[in-house]
Amino acid sequence: MQDSILVIRVITVSFLIVLFLGPVIIPLLKRLKVGQSIREEGPKSHLAKSGTPTMGGVLIILGIVISIATSGYYSKEIIVVTFFIVGFGFIGFVDDYIKVVLKRNLGLRAYQKIIGQLIFAVLLAVYGSRFSVNKTILLIPFINTYIDLGVLYIPFTVFVVLGIVNAVNLTDGLDGLNTGVTLIVMAAFSLIANTRISTNEAYQGIAIISASVSGSCLGFLKHNAHPAKVFMGDTGSLALGGAVAAVAVMTNLILVIPIIGGIYFAEALSVIIQVAYFKKTRKRIFKMAPLHHHFEMCGWKETKVVGVFWFITVILAFIGIYFI
């Protein structure tokens, strides 16, 4: 009972923090003129979004940090996951700052982003190999079997963490899309962890921090749903990617991400396929990548794409929960 109360508390606090800080932070971002630049080759409907404040991910991070700081429960799992949320979010913040404040369109160079992400990915993998719930043992979904990766755990986990973080980043392209998908994914992880607290106390911290992320996303959705008043920017998308990756590593449920986080997987895969096919044939499979833009170019309204992707995520979350 006490566990459920803590979960409800952090969801409520993080939600309210983001909800009420929005009207304070968003005007400040406008005054700082940190407006989003819109790609001309993208859907024409997006051109109207040019100048919408970005870097709103600061709100999400504040909601998470404040709700955790006021929860009164500070397990090592909570501290570690929060560290990686802030760490990956900081990389995104620097990238956003260079692009929208210093007006350097490219932001951080690709190798600089990768180095920054790689540092945190290695730290997360090493920590997971020693202190996650099952250390180097991963659950294989559907067949409910465990596999011990041993010495292969760290390089495999580094690769997967980088993939997750960047896949979540790619999902941030439509009003409310990444916010809603991550809300559902983290709610699923909170539910999974909450049902396993009796087997290992570490799950309580995971349930709480996952709930905090969900609450922040719910509050941010008020400002980010169509028509968006603010975008999360790389500050938010990389922070959320760090949250998903860290929780997956700490619960040893990395292999469940392609199920519960199926939308992330599809978005990243669409980009990989598009780039590889274009390099080989000079033709495109999708009208535009990532996948959400393909459906827009096919004539779907932005709100329809977002709604369908949310619905798919809910279905995938139930499948993932049921089969693990």
pLDDT in tens, 46-68: 666 777 999 999 999 999 999 99
Asked if residue 242 belongs to a domain, the reply is: yes
Tell me the whole-structure pTM to 2 decimals: 0.95
Domain that holds residue 69: 2-256
Asked if residue 120 belongs to a domain, the reply is: yes
DSSP 108-128: S-HHHHHHHHHHHHHHHHHHH
Asked if residue 172 belongs to a domain, the reply is: yes
pLDDT at 175: 96
The two tokens of residue 258 are 């392609």
pLDDT at 42: 61
Asked if residue 205 belongs to a domain, the reply is: yes
Show the low-confidence residues of the chain (pLDDT under 50). none
pLDDT at 33: 77
Asked if residue 263 belongs to a domain, the reply is: no
Domain count, the chain: 1
Name the residue among 211, 267, 229, 294 with its Cα closest to residue 21. 229
What are the φ and ψ backbone dihedral angles of 163, each rounded to 5 degrees? -65, -45
- 35 secondary structure, DSSP code: B
pLDDT at 103: 76
Asked if residue 171 belongs to a domain, the reply is: yes
Q: Could you give the angle at the alpha carbon of 208 between the alpha carbons of 212 and 85, nearest 5°?
A: 55
